[in-house]
């Protein structure tokens, strides 16, 4: 029964850290006027830009191209400012979680916390079988289950609390966004 | 949680509660006024489907890469089927690819957590006992 308790305990830890992280970010970032202003500005600019692109389509003249580029540049600058505002909270939560993680790591050291219903691919095995004795790769380490829980819970908590960025804004800010599409 | 453009003022976002979103999603006559709302429905319904699949896969138990592939097919298939049975114009919401990939990674993580924990809770002690015998 201890295995099941450990697994559920890890889910509890992730829930706790997700709320703690969001709480800290709220205190340091989300409630500040600067963040609110920048977020609203980005949402507005993104929607405006998307609408413009939709209306203009492919056939645009030089002047319109330049205007669009200028808007894109402004949006990029705002996104950069927003990332800078978020930076201090990222550092604070980073430090707090590193300390928490190392504490839990020592508690669950060399302990099987769950049994995987599949054998992970080789480059994941280093994580899923971290600090575990033996070569049964269906045994799951603390860190692997914790990462999975965090991936699942943090995103949902952010969405429930309304702190996740809008899809349009995150799409424009993603590394896959093509800068200067209209060049 | 979700934002929606009002019909009166396109730039002003309004809130849609979770229960309203569920009602809208389950109704076959819903006209989705905004892509964000529709994608929110896809996101949350997928989360529920993922948790449900993880529970079933863990209880059966479905193991190995067949379980992972079956999940991928079921999860994407659910979105595709929803769009076709509810006559959703995918181009209006950014294309079928955008809809199918909406919340996939979070959904996959939720599924894995449920699958692993259910499998460990339901079958692990039994297999241990069998090994000891």
pLDDT in tens, B120-131: 998 876 444 444
Nearest Cα neighbor of A144 from B82, B109, B68, B2 is: B109
Name A128's Cβ contacts closer than 8 Å, sequence gap at least 6.
Answer: A116, A120, A137, A140, A141, A144
Nearest Cα neighbor of B118 from B46, B61, B45, B47 is: B61
DSSP class of A58: S
- What pLDDT shows up at residue A45? 85
**Bigger pLDDT: A166 vs A6:** A6
pLDDT tens-digit readout, A29-50? 888 888 889 888 888 888 888 8
**Bigger pLDDT: B58 vs B19:** B58
Average pLDDT of the segment spanning A131-139: 88
Residue A144 pLDDT class (50, 70, 90 cuts): very high
Taking 50 as the threshold, does the pLDDT of residue B86 lie above it? yes
- What pLDDT shows up at residue A172? 62
Max Cα distance, chain A (Å): 70
In which residue are the tokens 């006027």 written?
A33
Taking 80 as the threshold, does the pLDDT of residue A179 lie above it? no
pTM of the model: 0.82
Least confident of A102-111, A138-147, B28-37, B101-110: B28-37
The pLDDT mean for chain A works out to 83
Taking 70 as the threshold, does the pLDDT of residue A16 lie above it? yes
- Minimal Cβ distance to B117: which of A1, A114, A118: A114
Name B84's Cβ contacts closer than 8 Å, sequence gap at least 6.
Answer: none
Residues in chain B: 133
**Bigger pLDDT: B15 vs B49:** B49
Q: How far is CA A31 from CA A27, A39, A52, in A?
A: 6, 11, 31
Chain mean position to CA B29? 20
**Bigger pLDDT: B18 vs B60:** B60
Q: Decide: A158 and A30 in contact? Cβ < 8 Å.
A: no
Spell out which residues of chain B touch residue A159, defining contact as CB-CB under 8 Å: 1, 43
Q: Which residues pair with B4 in a beta bridge?
A: B14
CB atoms within 10 A of CB B67: 22
Distance of alpha carbon A160 from alpha carbon A148, whole angstroms: 19
- What pLDDT shows up at residue B129? 46
User: What is the SS3 assignment for B13-26?
Assistant: EEEECHHHHHHHHH
Query: Is A159 in Cβ contact with B120 (below 8 Å)?
Result: no
Residue B2 pLDDT class (50, 70, 90 cuts): very low
pLDDT tens-digit readout, B64-82? 999 999 999 999 999 999 8
Distance of alpha carbon A112 from alpha carbon A2, whole angstroms: 10
pLDDT tens-digit readout, B22-77? 888 888 777 777 788 888 889 999 999 999 999 999 999 899 999 999 999 999 99
Taking 70 as the threshold, does the pLDDT of residue B84 lie above it? yes
**B1 at A interface, C-beta within 8 A:** yes
Q: Please give the radius of gyration of chain B, using alpha carbons only, rounded to the nearest integer.
A: 18
- Minimal Cβ distance to B113: which of A3, A11, A159: A11
Distance of alpha carbon A115 from alpha carbon B129, whole angstroms: 14
- Minimal Cβ distance to A152: which of B3, B62, B113: B113
Average pLDDT of the segment spanning A43-67: 78
Distance of alpha carbon A82 from alpha carbon A161, whole angstroms: 19
- What pLDDT shows up at residue A58? 67
Distance of alpha carbon B125 from alpha carbon B120, whole angstroms: 8
CB atoms within 10 A of CB A145: 26
SS percent in chain A: helix, strand, coil, step 5: 75, 0, 25
Query: Is A1 in Cβ contact with B125 (below 8 Å)?
Result: yes
ipTM of the complex as predicted: 0.81
- What pLDDT shows up at residue A171? 66
């Amino acid at each position: 029964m201890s295995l099941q308790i450990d697994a559920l305990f890890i889910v509890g830890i992730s829930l706790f850290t997700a709320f703690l992280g969001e709480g800290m970010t709220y205190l340091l970032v989300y409630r500040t006027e600067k963040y609110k202003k920048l977020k609203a500005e980005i949402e507005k600019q993104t929607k405006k830009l998307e609408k413009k692109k939709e209306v203009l389509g492919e056939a645009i003249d030089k002047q319109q191209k330049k205007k669009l580029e200028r808007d894109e540049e402004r949006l990029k600058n705002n996104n950069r400012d927003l990332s800078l505002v978020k930076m201090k909270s990222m550092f604070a939560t980073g430090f707090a979680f590193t300390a928490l993680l190392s504490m839990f790591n020592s508690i669950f050291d060399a302990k099987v916390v769950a049994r995987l219903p599949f054998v992970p691919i080789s480059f994941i095995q280093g994580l899923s079988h971290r600090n575990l004795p033996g070569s049964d790769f269906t045994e799951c380490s603390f860190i692997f289950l914790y990462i999975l829980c965090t991936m699942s819970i943090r995103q949902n908590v952010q969405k429930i609390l309304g702190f996740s960025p809008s899809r349009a804004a995150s799409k424009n800010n993603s590394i896959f966004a093509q800068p200067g599409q209209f060049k | 949680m979700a934002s929606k453009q009002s019909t009166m003022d396109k730039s002003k976002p309004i809130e849609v509660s979770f229960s309203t979103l569920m009602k809208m999603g389950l109704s076959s006559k819903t006209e989705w006024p905004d892509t964000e709302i529709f994608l929110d429905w896809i996101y949350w319904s997928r989360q529920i489907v993922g948790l449900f699949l993880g529970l079933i896969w863990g209880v059966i138990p479905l193991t190995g890469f067949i379980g992972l592939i079956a999940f991928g097919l079921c999860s994407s298939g659910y979105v595709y089927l929803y769009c076709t049975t509810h006559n959703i114009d995918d181009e209006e919401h950014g294309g079928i690819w955008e809809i199918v990939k909406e919340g996939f990674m979070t959904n996959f993580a939720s599924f894995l957590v449920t699958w692993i924990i259910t499998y460990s809770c339901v079958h692990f002690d039994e297999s241990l006992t069998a090994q000891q015998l």
